[in-house]
Amino acid sequence: MQNLIICLFFKAILSQLVRYVMSNDLQYIVAFLLVAILFGIVALLTAWVLRPKRPTFEKQQVYECGEEIQGAPYIKYNVRFYVVALLYLVFGVELVLVIPWVASYTDHGLFGLLLGLFFLIVLAVGIVYEWRKGDLDWFTYEDVVANKKTKIPSLEIDPVEEEVE
């Protein structure tokens, strides 16, 4: 009984606080977010309760599209993939910002022109820095030295003249 009284007391306080703090528009947004969160929690709990719990050795194995597993399931990707992806994102966003600027820089006068040129210069300095640092080179000097140590055959192919019949 005491717990019920405490629960009703806090409910009354919270409802008064919500009415006092939030406007009508904010109440709809908060209600929508609460329903979305509640829906996600209910869906996950329902799936957890209803799913069959019969783990076997084969079910615990990593699935590789029907192929037998070869080697470790986790491999270390080269950091160059991430660097190239981040650079692509940066310069993709640059393009998205430059196109409207080009279309409307005359409306803003000299200040708009100088501001856009400053933006382009900062990005040009960034790409030159990445280039000079060697992050845009796919094969670095260390890769070449490592390949020479392992004696990988050269990829240079001698041209062979084919007879034309």
pLDDT band at 82 (very low <50, low <70, confident <90, very high): confident
Q: What is the C-alpha separation between 65 and 62, in angstroms, rounded?
A: 9
Residue 68 has pLDDT above 90, yes or no: no
11-16: long-range pairs with CB below 8 Å, 24+ = none
Q: What is the C-alpha separation between 34 and 18, in angstroms, rounded?
A: 14
User: Higher pLDDT residue, 3 or 100?
Assistant: 100
Tell me, what amino acid is at 35? V
Burial of 123 per CB tally in 10 Å (0-12, 13-18, 19+): middle
Tokens of 134: 């060697």
Residue 98 has pLDDT above 80, yes or no: yes
In terms of residues, how long is the chain? 165
Tokens of 162: 């084919």
Task: Convert the pLDDT of each residue in 53-62 to its tens digit.
Answer: 888 887 777 7
Q: What is the C-alpha separation between 90 and 148, in angstroms, rounded?
A: 35
Predicted TM-score (pTM) of this structure: 0.42
